[in-house]
Amino acid sequence: MEFTAEMIAAHVNGDIVGNPQAKVHTFSKIEEAMPGSITFLANPLYTPYLYNTKASIVLVRKDFVPDSDKNLNTTLIKVDDPYQTLSALLTLIDTYLNPQPSGIEQPSYVAEGVHVNEDCYIGAFAYIGKDVKLGKNVKIYPQVYIGHNTEIGDNTIIYPGAKVYHGCKIGKNCILHAGVVIGADGFGFAPTEDKTYNKIPQIGAVNIEDNVEIGANTTVDRATMGATVINRGVKLDNLIQIAHNVEIGEHTVIAAQTGIAGSAKIGSHGMIGGQVGVAGHIHVGDNVTVGAQTGIPGNIDNNSRIMGYPAVNAGEFARNTVLIKRLSGLFKRVSAIEKHINQDN
């Protein structure tokens, strides 16, 4: 498929600078672009690439003014937010290239009495347990397991191989990627006098609110009692472990390989980097930014930026890192001073 700058600008309410008939058929990064591609400029650090890019069309901010001393060999479309505009265009193309399926493929199992709307899709080898409630336009791909008494909201997509155990609730407009496990038992064991462990039954559930996306092979354990809660708008990357009775505040994003221990409470609008470890039974406030590989053993206040282990203020962590690099030289200076003092004595 080909699109002209004129067609794209009309769709995104943009202003054209250059050739309105410039054509594109693919997307690219600005530094690697080839003719026939569209790219974007959102980060000012990438501005130098604009004057060398081979892209046919570049999305830029409406207040962007090209350098008059440099040649511009591409067509610009000025928009309010280039990154959001690119996201909208990618969504449009993805919808066109990957139309959503419908109907019930065979072999699959749908328990008697489960109502499946006409616009729903259930892929081959899927299992839908008794008393499951499916919303409108739900898409359940092959080899998905949905346990009994589970509720799944409108427009939710569950990709191949995901497992949702009994009694869990999935909201509207959610996406569960391949291999996700929702509602497996929390890690609950009681030590005994003979130094063995008795399993503590996990009789709670998992509640996932609307507009949540969960990456491939991420696990969210059911609560011992009550519910593990993922609030609306949360985005979880691949390979994340959410333990029993955890609560994640709305619109928080968490990167891969993070582990959150039981009963921890994570606030809203947070950003947590990869490989972060959060101890159990603590509270992380709202609007907290956590650097990659940080260990969080205790409570964190609202609006904090933290890094390191144990976690400290991000600025303090950066200063400490600089000082650590200077320790070797400092040690040599101290040794030289000690040697000089000893010689004088």
Distance (Å) of CA 81 to CA 59, 60, 217, 251, 312: 9, 8, 32, 20, 34
Q: Are 137 and 120 in contact (CB under 8 A)?
A: yes
Q: Is 199 exposed, middle or buried (0-12, 13-18, 19+ CB in 10 A)?
A: exposed
Which amino acid appears at position 111 of this protein?
A
φ, ψ (nearest 5 deg) of residue 91: -60, -40
User: Two tokens at 71?
Assistant: 């040649």
> Is the separation of the CB atoms in 227 and 207 below 8 Å?
yes
Give the integer Cα–Cα distance in Å for 123 and 102.
9
What contacts 27, CB < 8 A, 6 or more positions away? 37, 38, 39, 86, 89, 90, 93
273 in Cβ contact with 254 (< 8 Å): no
Contact (Cβ atoms closer than 8 angstroms) between residue 232 and residue 212: yes
Output the CA angle 186-189-190, nearest 5 degrees.
Answer: 145
Q: Residues with Cβ < 8 Å from 108, sequence gap 6 or more?
A: 122, 123, 124, 125, 126, 127, 128
Known catalytic residues are 244
Between β-strands 283-284 and 26-27, what pairing exists: parallel, antiparallel or unpaired? Answer: unpaired
Closest CA to 138 of 116, 110, 160: 116
